[in-house]
């Protein structure tokens, strides 16, 4: 996971993560180890970390999400962006959320193409291990499909 070595760090840089099947497996409800390791490396290097999820911004979903992240040891993020409950255009919502981040987003990590699109810097697309077809995931560079262990 030396991807961070390829991005020159500046104090105004941010990294964005998705939750479902990126930070947390929707099958096991546990943290996906390789992605959580990358998440912590971003924090330790000094990046401002944001989470953008397609989960609806209802009180129940927001409370559940914060508790789930805490349970999985995911902390230190600056803000979680929740999708407005009646907004069904997830790709547009995620793009606009990334665009609204005041820092310079240098990397986005997610399991769908819209998690890592415009205004997202370098995109890392998370895919399950082919042998297991389940997580823990390998992290692939969306543009080159390079895998990191």
Q: Residue 46 is encoded by which pair of tokens?
A: 């000094």
* 3 is a domain residue: no
User: What does the pLDDT look like over 94-121, one tens digit per residue?
Assistant: 999 999 999 999 999 999 999 998 999 9
What is the CB neighbour count within 10 angstroms for residue 14? 20
The predicted pLDDT at position 4 comes to 81
Asked whether 110 and 116 are in contact (CB, 8 A), the reply is yes
* 29 is a domain residue: yes
The predicted pLDDT at position 38 comes to 95
Structural domain for 83, as ranges: 9-148
Torsion of CA 108, 106, 34, 88, to 10 degrees: -10
State how many domains the chain has: 1
* 18 is a domain residue: yes
* 17 is a domain residue: yes
Q: What is the pLDDT along the chain (149 residues), one digit of tens a residue?
A: 478 888 888 999 999 999 999 999 998 999 999 999 999 999 999 999 999 999 999 999 999 999 999 999 999 999 999 999 999 999 999 999 999 999 999 999 999 999 998 999 989 999 875 544 544 444 443 333 333 33
Residue 67 sits in a domain whose CATH number is: 3.40.50.1000
């Amino acid at each position: 996971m030396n991807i961070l070595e390829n991005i020159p760090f500046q104090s105004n840089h941010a990294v964005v993560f998705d939750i479902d099947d990126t930070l947390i497996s929707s099958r096991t409800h546990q943290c996906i180890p390789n992605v959580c390791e990358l998440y912590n490396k971003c924090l330790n290097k000094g990046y401002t970390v944001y989470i953008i999820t397609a989960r609806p911004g209802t009180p129940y979903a927001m409370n559940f999400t914060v508790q789930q992240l805490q349970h999985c040891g995911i902390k230190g993020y600056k803000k979680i962006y929740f999708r407005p409950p009646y907004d069904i255009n997830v790709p547009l919502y995620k793009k606009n959320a990334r665009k609204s981040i005041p820092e310079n987003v240098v990397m986005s990590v997610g399991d769908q193409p819209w998690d890592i699109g415009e205004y997202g810097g370098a995109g890392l697309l998370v895919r399950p291990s082919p042998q297991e077809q389940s997580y823990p995931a390998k992290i692939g560079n969306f543009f080159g499909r390079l895998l990191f262990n």
